[in-house]
Structure 1
Amino acid sequence: MDKASRVNSSMMAVLQVFLGDPTVPRYGIELTRMADVRAGELYPALYRLEQAGFVASEWFEEADEGRRVPLRRRRYRISQSGIQMAARSLAAERAAQHGPYLWLVH
């Protein structure tokens, strides 16, 4: 089964955010705003992207002076294979939008 064949619009919106700067890890709340998707769409998309190897996640503890216990957050990062898949998927999406005459446009 081809991993890229099951990419939906929420997943593509998330990948586009990561492609903006692939070196920056992102938090879920940040991705909901930047990708303009609801949390109910975001987390299943992130889960599927992570299962496919396109996104990796890690838990991160952030100290907060107002709290006795550090704030535990999960941050996500696009993988190299995610960058390649996203670039191919976006190119295919653009080609589909412009039809077979895309090659005529410079």
Structure 2
Amino acid sequence: MSTAVAIATEAVVAFCRPTVGYDTWISELYPFLSQRAAVAYETVDPANVPCTSLTGAATVRDGDGAFTMRILVPTDAGEYSVYVHRTSESTPWAVEQITPLASE
């Protein structure tokens, strides 16, 4: 479970950088994303991302603890809900979605 929290946290750190150029932003976000999420986040302009930093420790919101988790990550623009998934206990966690909690 702590690995899922770490991946979610690192993904939000990479995500919350609106002043970074697109190529740098997406290339540094890719390692945390599933293939499906990578395609979706290619359409995001980082300049439109409102958060710039984390404001506390991430916490588990829910999930089964083995294959699917939702992690809450607090930022200066509010909490983000990060959905992480893996297909087996031997595969790495990957981020499927990063969403402002207020919009869920």
Same fold by TM-score greater than 0.5? no
Q: TM-score, normalised by structure 1?
A: 0.29
Larger strand fraction of residues: 2
- Greater Rg over alpha carbons, structure: 1
Q: TM-score, normalised by structure 2?
A: 0.30
Larger helix fraction of residues: 1
